[in-house]
Amino acid sequence: MWPSRLILTVVALAISSPALARQIPPRDECSNAEDFGPFYRHFKDVVARRDAKALIALIPVKGTNPNVVGLEPDSFVQTWKLHNGKSSLLWRELDNVLNAGCAQDGSRYFAPYTQLWLSRTATKDDLDMVVYGKANLYAAPTESSRVLARLDWDVVRPWKPIPVSISKWAAVIVANGTKGYVPSAALRDVFDYQAEFALVHGQWSFTYFGASD
């Protein structure tokens, strides 16, 4: 989904804008980390099994906040309806986050890797996004139009606002300068969901999950 906030903040790109990176595929800096690796592998297994009870046990009761909007653990559970077990919508969001890699940043670990990369390289006027896996770049906002390129974890940048009537599409420019359209659902930006893991009272914990507005 192309967030409305991006539609409001997209600016025209000058010819002198910094060059885009070509691709930024997921990297896993977490699974084999000497200290954090066992916890992260367990976390991924919990998500794969849709084990709500086990996931709740990984959220610290004290010392940190697991959600960007300020929810305490009990409220986090209620908001994501974890009492519904495998039918909670949280699982789908966690799948998306974990499938895009995990990165170390100092003493903390973040998923997805691609989003942390975006946050590290973001500037005021460069709203870079990453194509989530494989997607086509179309000449027009319709799948019946000509395919200009096959994208695979490519870094792209918006080049014009999209009218609400075609908001399921995004107008983007790729690294070689080609302009076209991709389904907005195929994009991830720095505002999307992310997870954070940190030591709390000496134990690795699932300390943050949220999206920025």
CATH number at residue 106: 3.10.450
Please name the residues in contact with 53: beta carbons below 8 A apart, sequence gap of 6 or more.
none
Whether residue 173 is found in the same domain as residue 161: yes
Q: Could you tell me if 112 and 94 are in contact, meaning their C-beta atoms sit under 8 angstroms apart? A: no
As a residue count, the chain comes to 213
Whether residue 43 is found in the same domain as residue 101: yes
Whether residue 61 is found in the same domain as residue 125: no
Whether residue 89 is found in the same domain as residue 109: yes
What integer pLDDT is reported at residue 93 of this predicted model? 94
With respect to residue 161, please indicate whether it lies within any of the assigned structural domains: yes
What pTM value is reported for the model?
Answer: 0.79
With respect to residue 109, please indicate whether it lies within any of the assigned structural domains: yes
**Cα separation of 91 and 193, whole Å?**
12
What integer pLDDT is reported at residue 65 of this predicted model? 56
Residue 160 to residues 13, 91, 165, 179: CA-CA distances in angstroms? Answer: 9, 33, 14, 10
With respect to residue 31, please indicate whether it lies within any of the assigned structural domains: no
Provide the residue-wise pLDDT of the chain in tens; the chain has 213 residues.
Answer: 434 333 333 333 333 345 566 888 889 999 999 999 999 999 999 999 999 999 999 988 765 555 544 567 788 888 899 988 899 999 999 999 999 999 998 888 999 988 777 777 665 556 788 999 999 999 999 999 999 999 999 999 999 988 888 889 999 999 999 999 999 999 988 788 999 999 988 899 998 888 865
Whether residue 62 is found in the same domain as residue 75: yes
Whether residue 197 is found in the same domain as residue 169: no
Whether residue 184 is found in the same domain as residue 91: no
What integer pLDDT is reported at residue 105 of this predicted model? 85
Number of domains in the chain: 2
What integer pLDDT is reported at residue 17 of this predicted model? 44
Whether residue 103 is found in the same domain as residue 162: no
Whether residue 100 is found in the same domain as residue 54: yes
With respect to residue 135, please indicate whether it lies within any of the assigned structural domains: yes
CATH number at residue 142: 2.30.30.40
Whether residue 126 is found in the same domain as residue 175: yes
With respect to residue 182, please indicate whether it lies within any of the assigned structural domains: yes
What integer pLDDT is reported at residue 94 of this predicted model? 96
Whether residue 143 is found in the same domain as residue 128: yes
Whether residue 107 is found in the same domain as residue 171: no
What integer pLDDT is reported at residue 122 of this predicted model? 60
Please name the residues in contact with 38: beta carbons below 8 A apart, sequence gap of 6 or more.
none
Domain assignment of residue 195, given as a range: 37-115+191-210
H/E run at residue 86: none
What integer pLDDT is reported at residue 181 of this predicted model? 97
